Amino acid sequence: MSLPYMLLGLLDGHPMSGYDLNKAFNTTVQHFWTTEQSQIYRALHKLEADGWLTVETVIQQDSPNKKLYHITAAGRDALHQWLATPLPEEPAREAWIGQLFFGHLTSNEVVISVLESYVAQLRQRLAALEALQATVPGDMPLEAIPRQYQFQFLTLDYGLELHRFELQWALDAIERIRQFPRDSTNE
Amino acid sequence: MSLPYMLLGLLDGHPMSGYDLNKAFNTTVQHFWTTEQSQIYRALHKLEADGWLTVETVIQQDSPNKKLYHITAAGRDALHQWLATPLPEEPAREAWIGQLFFGHLTSNEVVISVLESYVAQLRQRLAALEALQATVPGDMPLEAIPRQYQFQFLTLDYGLELHRFELQWALDAIERIRQFPRDSTNE
DNA sequence: CCGATCATGTAAGTGGTTACATGATTAT
DNA sequence: ATAATCATGTAACCACTTACATGATCGG
């Protein structure tokens, strides 16, 4: 549903190839959207068929030829439309909460050890986001930062704060589970 | 991937029909897992074929016959195995963050209005969780609460805290965006 | 009479993943 | 030699959604 708009958003301003887009998904936008390379090419073909993109074939000598995708006026319209439309609530699907919910079917120790792996995962992701944040020049006055970057920093801030929240909650949960009664049917 | 385990978790203890399970998905576990009815029946058939469930057909006069699914020893083993296994990190797919990320392509006002819809959605979901919490007897001493409910309350607490965090972050974000430079290419 | 509740399923379609396929150039 | 980078794609499969199909009983 949203992949086409992610592509349009990335292509608005500067044209890119499928390969470039794939790199963008593995770097810049990786904290809120991921895709497989194969899906990018399929989506690009569809977007072109729909008239939201046009292709410019670039012949190269030192590397394989590539196709640069340019956003069309129709594509830009569609993107603006999407940006102004609130998204429908998406279905909940958080399996790790399920593991907690059914925690009574196993021992406190097992639940805690799974939560600890989750904590380790969160710390890693948080560290990655903090590394991203460290690349941001800190000395610039707020007003001097281009509008585009202000929005990007805002989403980065969301990622940072969310991860800090999740980490803290998980650590607290571990402490709470330690106080839970022990399972009598322990193996 | 996780649906089969959600079914096993719900069936551990008391057998249920596909219809009962569907109701459970729309009530008890709805804050972390949702499914369509059609998917439940398909999953049930597969689980039975795999030997993780057995079927008991119950003939009824006043309502259509039903099939009660019972968890088998193999099913319980598989469930315990899953409960003890940390889940792989799942791919990020948060389209609303994308709308923020590409916010520079539209006006601050448009971004804020979309965020405000999101805030309204969050308030609704938070209210639903608070209503759920209100049904919990508050006078019981912590130690007297059965282990099963302790885990369930823990997941409810996660939902509550997460929604409060998201709501606060969104409200702060709106205030911040008001300070962003205005877009010169406003339509 | 109508809608809700009980109860089971199939079929078509979409979005996404995994695996496969090709092949040149450049850096270690 | 080998791996990484550049570059494009197809095919099979899986999870999930939407829509369709059936039919009895019960309460307002």
Instruction: Write phi, then psi, for A139 (nearest 5 degrees).
Output: -90, -15
Give strand ranges (E) for chain A: 53-58, 66-71
Contact across the interface for B5 and A105, Cβ inside 8 Å: no
Residues within a 7 A CB radius of strand C = A 1-3, 34-39, 62-64; B 17-20, 22-23, 37-38, 41-42, 44-45, 60, 63-67, 91, 93
Contact status, residue B16 vs residue B40, Cβ threshold 8 Å: no
Name residues whose C-beta falls within 8 Å of residue A25's C-beta, 6 or more positions apart in sequence: A6, A33, A34, A35, A40
- What count of other Cβ atoms lies within 10 Å of the Cβ of residue B20? 17
Our measurement of the distance from residue A157's CA atom to the centroid of its chain's CA atoms, rounded to an integer in Å, reads: 13
Contact across the interface for A83 and B114, Cβ inside 8 Å: yes
CA–CA distance, B52 with B4 (Å, rounded to integer)? 10
Name residues whose C-beta falls within 8 Å of residue A74's C-beta, 6 or more positions apart in sequence: A50, A51, A52
Give B147→chain A minimum CA distance, Å.
Answer: 6
Q: Torsion angle, CA of B85/B88/B89/B90, rounded to 10 degrees? A: -110
* CB proximity B147 to A under 8 Å: yes
Chain A residue closest to B116 (CA)?
A86
DSSP-based three-state secondary structure for B41: helix
What pLDDT sits at residue B185?
A: 53
What pLDDT sits at residue A140?
A: 80
What pTM was estimated for this model as a whole?
Answer: 0.95
What does the pLDDT look like over B18-66, one tens digit per residue? 999 999 999 999 999 999 999 999 999 999 999 999 999 999 988 899 9
Give B57→chain A minimum CA distance, Å.
Answer: 26
DSSP state of B93: B
What pLDDT sits at residue B184?
A: 65
**Mean pLDDT for all residues in chain A:** 94
Sign of the C-alpha dihedral computed for residues B182, B166, A162 and A121 taken in this order = negative
Of B33, B93, B166, the CB nearest to A34: B93
DSSP-based three-state secondary structure for A2: coil
Contact status, residue B98 vs residue A33, Cβ threshold 8 Å: yes
What does the pLDDT look like over A3-22, one tens digit per residue? 999 999 999 989 999 999 99
Of B9, B97, B105, the CB nearest to A32: B97
Q: Tell me what percent of the residues of chain B surpass a pLDDT of 90.
A: 87
